[in-house]
Amino acid sequence: MTRQFIVEADGGSRGNPGPAAFGSVVRDGATGAILAELAEYIGTATNNVAEYRGALAGLSHVFSLDPEAVVEVRLDSKLVVEQMSGRWKIKHPDMRDLALQVRGVFPPGRVTYTWVPRAANAAADALVNEVLDQASSGDRTAVARVFMGSPDLNASHDVVGEAEEAFALGAASRSDRTPNRLVGWQDVGQPTTTVLVRHGSTAFSVEKRFSGLGGLDVGLSEMGMAQAEAVAQELVLRDGLDAVISSPLLRSRETAVCIAGRYGLDVDIMDEFAECSFGDWDGHTFAEVQSQWPEAMQRWLDSVEIAPPGGESFAQVRDRVNRGLRQVMHRYQGARIAIISHVSPIKLLAGLVLDAPLESVYRMELRPGSISTLMWFPDGHNSMVSFAESSHLRGVDSALGV
């Protein structure tokens, strides 16, 4: 029987052209399980060159597993998909050479190319950013993670170990072909539990002012400190914590210190969980932004791909939050982790656990000091246990805000 594989490939360049890398995820076509993660820094190149390199790496790996295989290559580059499918001409000589290399891996008819939206290519995109982030600090080590369970591979080929394999099979292997299960009714393995806490109130949150990364780094108000204490007390009554992670912003760090102190834990600061950057809007109320930037505000409300002037789009924030989640899962697989963060990152994590459209961020509300609990299972069948819990804040005055 002919084996089927899926290659999810992506490429990115910070500058286009600029420092570039590719990422490629190889999956079993029948189960959706990840067999390999491949990524490499390729120096100065364009996005399209990097995309081709990602496809080439994934196909070459599949060929090493089974030269007789049938492969579907999924990319979020419409250009590469149309060119490799033969519907668009390839004019640039460098691109033609790469296309010939890609076509030469398997005989004609063995490989098909499918365009997918960016959100569906998050695993490969995260690999690209992982390598680019490493390269920016001088580390240009390629990623070549081959997982237990790969066809025709034995344990000596596993280069990452069981914990990393468990994360890869879970957080990064969601596929339309993976059958649904009833989480809580079936044994799907030991989850990694993230207890997401929105920081306590600040003067800005009470006044409903935009307060993001790069703006004025406001601390907790007296009310916010009372909320942080209430959260800490509530979490002590629950199942314990193995680690406390915080956004770098002051209000989150102050909340995190309050919680970590109850357990004798240090606070791990992770930039990936910082609030969205609101750019020129920072410090302004929603009404002020509507008055001063009406067209920009409407574009922002209409599309998750649009950023405030000088800020980040929700799509960009989702990418970095997803990178942060991957790091947490690698480091703390099977543990119970508190992540002290903000409205946008928490809503985006909730969307990731539910595989919800990115536009779902417009349909969620979070009270300062609220608790949301998400479980990430090794096989990818993740679960939302709770969202925006706030009964522990009863008697503590609070306000909603950005």
Q: Supply the residues annotated as catalytic.
A: 199, 275
Annotate 245-286 with DSSP letters as a single string: EE-SSHHHHHHHHHHHHTTTPPEEE-GGGSPPP-GGGTT-BH
**Chain centre to alpha carbon of residue 252:** 20
Nearest one of 283, 285, 284, 276 to 307, comparing CA atoms = 276
Contact present, 317 and 234 (Cβ < 8 Å)? no
Write the CB contacts of 58 (distance below 8 Å, at least 6 apart in sequence): 7, 8, 9, 24, 25, 26, 38, 73
Q: How far apart are CA 21 and CA 390, in angstroms?
A: 43
Contact present, 40 and 57 (Cβ < 8 Å)? yes
Q: How far apart are CA 31 and CA 175, in angstroms?
A: 8
- Total residue length of the chain: 402
